[in-house]
Copies of this chain bind each other. A is one copy, B any other.
Amino acid sequence: MILHLKDTISAVEASRLAEQYKAFHVVSNNTNVLITGSGVKEIPDGLEDKVAEHWVFPNDMQLASRSYRNETREVTIGNTTIGGKTGNTLIISGPCSVESEEQIRQSAALLKANGLTSLRGGCYKPRTSPYSFQGMGLDGLKLLAKMREEHGFTVVTEARDATHIDEIIEHADVIQVGAKAMYDQGILRACAKTQKTVLIKRGFGTTLQEFVQAAEFVLSGGNENVLLCERGIRTFETGTRFTLDLCGVEWLKHYTNLPVILDPSHAMGYAYGVAGLTRACTALGVDGLLIEVHPNPKVAKSDASQQLNHAEFEALLTSIKPIAAAVGYTIV
């Protein structure tokens, strides 16, 4: 249950009530909000005259649900706002992994040349084998930060586990919680304590409801800047790397109030299909697209097969603009 307390209740008093009733307490738009589990169906005894408004839910999708807030939330990344009525589709692009200063400078130049503002690059790679390239770590983060200083980009990078979450929070503008880490409460709770934007990727074995509940960890902890990212689920089909779940995206848009970002690169796993899929994603009308692009995909240290080269990326960018326009969106 979500309870909006009357504005006669102070934040201190709200916090005390939260403790008493074992609820979460957040302040949203100057309102003190308490959130209990969804099993609570009636205003708890003693709170009746302190509550201005309340919502009951069939399950633990509460703060993120459309039955609580019936519009997509706005989230601002650098100078760009997505969600709400903005009609913006934000392009977040760059290489799978930060590999060297030269490489990331080439990526930065590509973004600059195409008027893009958001640079992605992995520094702590969540590889499934200890024998693969594990990322540049803090050195990579510093390279991304350098690009931000030089170009004004916003930087999107991934936290692999809770051991380095503080570094990520310090250096990134958007903290990406990867598909393998999205159940990690150490990360989610740390993300809840900052006001930086958190992009949560759906685990490849994660139901839509669990996915949204991961966002509830952040929202109920006090950070409203949450993006949901669909990047493909694991199915019996192995001809492609994963299966991009666009039915699920329609479900997310129907039932939740969070902006939705799509990652066709990881879903497909092969460059040949990324452009087509990205066009399909654009036509859905979404708040952002994550696209992997590398100056020379063949020598990439991770995900070599799925990254576009610069020419392919620019052709793709050109092709999606009229599609976005056809559905009332703008590529930014």
Interface, chain A (partner B; CB < 8 A): 24, 35-38, 60, 62, 126, 128-132, 134, 160-164, 180-181, 183-187, 203-210, 213-214, 216-217, 220-221, 232-251, 253-254, 267-269, 272-273, 276-277, 279-285, 319, 322-323, 325-327
Contacts and interface: CB of A to CB of B under 8 A. Distances in A.
Nearest to A267: B247
21 contacts: A24-B131, A60-B131, A62-B131, A128-B209, A128-B210, A130-B221, A163-B186, A184-B184, A203-B205, A208-B239, A235-B235, A235-B236, A237-B245, A239-B251, A242-B247, A243-B245, A250-B268, A250-B277, A276-B285, A280-B281, A282-B283
A181 B162 CA distance: 11
Contacts of A241: 247
A-B residue pairs, 9 tightest by C-beta: A205-B205, A250-B273, A161-B186, A283-B283, A37-B131, A180-B183, A240-B247, A163-B186, A60-B129
Contacts of A184: 160-162, 180-181, 184
Given A233-B236, A250-B273, 18 more contacts: A24-B131, A38-B131, A62-B131, A129-B213, A130-B213, A130-B220, A161-B184, A207-B239, A232-B247, A238-B238, A240-B248, A240-B251, A246-B280, A276-B284, A279-B327, A283-B323, A319-B326, A326-B326
B214 A128 contact: yes
Given A236-B205, A250-B272, A126 B162 contact: no
A23 to B, nearest CB: 9
A233 B237 contact: yes
A183 B185 contact: no
A272 B246 CA distance: 13
A97 B326 CA distance: 32
Contact of A244 (B161, B247, B281): B247
Contacts of A251: 239-240, 273
A246 B277 contact: yes
Contact of A276 (B161, B187, B220, B250): B250
A238 B250 CA distance: 13
A130 B232 contact: no
A162 B186 contact: yes
A144 to B, nearest CB: 20
A232 B35 CA distance: 33
A208 B237 contact: yes
A236 B238 CA distance: 8
